[in-house]
Structure formats: C-alpha cells, structure tokens
Structure 1
C-alpha cells in the first residue's frame, strides 16, 4: 500500500529531484503531441515540465499519495485541462483507458520492492515502441544515512529497494522491453546542517520509519540519525533506465 507524504514540506525543500527530472526528460524524444504517463508524479514538478514539452499533448499523472496529488492540482492550476490525475498503486494494473506514448518516472521506483510486477504494469499501458525513461535510487543509495537509521532503530532500515543494473535489465526484458539501457550514477546531495538537513531526512528519506514511531519520537529520531553522519550529505546513487516497449 503506498504511503502518504507531507506534500507541502516536500515542496518547500531544496530537492535534487528537479535536476534528476531534467536529466530524465532529456532522454525523451518527443514531437509535442504525445500522451506521457508520469509514474509517481508527486506534487507535479515534472508533470509541469512535461506539459511544456507537449504543447498539444497530455500528461497522465499517477501517484499513490492523495496528498501529493492534491498539491499537484493546486500547483498546476489552470493547466489541469491537459492532465489526467489518477490516484493508483503502481504495483497494481493501472487504470489507464488508452495506451500512452511514453512513461516517465523520477525518484519513485525504489519505494517499490517488486520491480517485476512494476515493469509489467508499465508495459501494459505503453503502446508498442513507446519510450520508457526513469530514474530512482539504485544499488548503494543512502548507505550512510540508512546505516545510521538502522543503528538508532536497532534493526535494518530496509523500507526501500535499491536495485542494481543486472537485475533491472533482466526484469525489463522479461516485462517486454527492448533497447534496454541501465546505469548507476553517484549523485550526492549536500544540505545545510540543522533544520534543513533534519527536514530533508524526515520528509524525503526516513518517512517510512517515522510512520512506525510515536509522533513525539519523530524529531529526536531524525536528529540522532543526522548526528551520526560525518557531514550533512545524502549519499545518493541513481539508477537510470531507458527502454522501449517491444
């Protein structure tokens, strides 16, 4: 079941996601009249950028968080006439009426452990020959942060699945994709120590663990994790995917 997010705090943070989004959009080849599905659309940052690339096209914005999609609607305002907003779980068959021309995703898939089912669901809504471009946390991502979290929790911090190149290539091909290209990229993010780091960790990375703690323990937990880091850096590793539907 997808978790809910603090959408307003998420939107207020200096997210590296905007750079990841641009890098991923740059791999799309578009005429401008296509329909693109944004898988894990969040608050609509990349949906808005996709609309700019699709002057006569549409975006299907899919996310499992109702709060994120509420913020997306507020952010996009009068541009919603070209957006289909769908609250759906990417691990289930997607309720999309017509096949789309491309599927795009940023910073979402690492929250899903079953990538075989995920890729199959994406293939089912993508037209033959359609483009699939995505990025998410990959093998080695957030190792320092999650090691610190596990030390504080006293158990593994394993809410995310950071896949590697080989397993991703195999699952994409099994799901019906061709021209598969997958790579890993080290991309650390430096933050200001103190409130910015605490807010970032609590909102973007540690949310699944905070959900399991009483509210009064949230801030001390995040601060203790931050205190165990040698510097205010999130050690991101990005898994980049480019493929086409067979």
Structure 2
C-alpha cells in the first residue's frame, strides 16, 4: 500500500486501535508462479501482547477452515499480507459547497506484512480460537463466557488451521479530509452521520482529523 505523506496515521497507537477494533482481515498469500489468493478471517492480538506504537516485532493470531486450500499453499519463508479496513465512505462535492469540486473517498486502512507459522495441532488451534473469541468479546457491550462451549469447540476444532503471524512491517493510511478546512471537514462529518455511516464511524475520524477517538476495551 502506498503511504501518502499527508495521509499518514496520526500515531502508532491509532494503527493499533484500528486493528483491534476492526479485526476481520484479508489474509493474502502467494505461491511462485501463481496469482495471489486471499481469505477473509479474524486476525487478533493475543491477550499477553501489548503493542503500543507499532505491530512490528509482535505476533498476531489467525485461523481459517482446514478445507480452505490456501493454507496448504503457504510457504512459511514467504511473507503474507494482512489487510485491515477501517471506516470509509464516499465524499460528495455537495459537502464542500464550492464549485468546481471533485468527489473522493475517505478511509482508514492498515497493511501488515507477516511471517507465518502454520499450526495444525488441536491444542494450538483451540488456543487460537479461544483467543479470537476473547478479543472479539472485548468489543461487545456484554461479554459471553465460552467456558461451557469448550466441549463443542473440541468436537469441531479439527476443521480449523491456525496461524501465528509474526509482524515484520506495517503501513497505514488515514485519509479523512485532513487537507480540507475546518468548515468543510465539519460538513463532511455531518453528512457522513446523516447518511448513516454504513461503513463504520467515518464521521468521528473526520472530526478528529484521523484520530481514533473511541476507546477500545480489553487487555491488548
């Protein structure tokens, strides 16, 4: 992903917060001579990891269905790309109230490059699945306790392949009208709210010039 200088993330903490709040990632891998393949899957921060300003040097967890052939084609010596999408939305020139104008798209996104450990063992996969549940429940207003469901997990865990994803590089773009005047940005945020923010809370990002202002619960 190309990082535009004027659309860089406000801080490393904002990059971490976006991934934590939007963990449904695109896992992209490629084999020599073949087109890249991708799977949409949750990728989460383990409870004992505490990235603050960067993911580089940390490890994330992910898993996909064993029936998905992508995992068999992963070469652990070849990095994969993890794509996380945050709030985004079309910006109509009607928000600018000036002519001539051109439309654009505001968005926030994070790309992480990772070395992969493929984990097929039931214990490893169970650990990753439960970590995924924990991280996801951290985002819920009321937590669900998975304790009584562990026997059910054990019955179906054979259908899962897990990943440890060791992050070696990160890029981020927070393009949220920060190159516009305060009055234009206020109208962009207002219009995003009025249309319902179908693709996440873009209005809050625009209001804050790209800063993730909503706190994230949990340990990570």
- Common topology (TM > 0.5): no
Scaled by the length of structure 2, the TM-score of the pair is 0.29
Q: Higher strand share goes to which structure?
A: 2
User: Bigger relative contact order, structure 1 or 2, given CA contacts below 8 A and separation 6+?
Assistant: 2
Structure whose alpha-carbon radius of gyration is higher: 2
More helix by share: 1
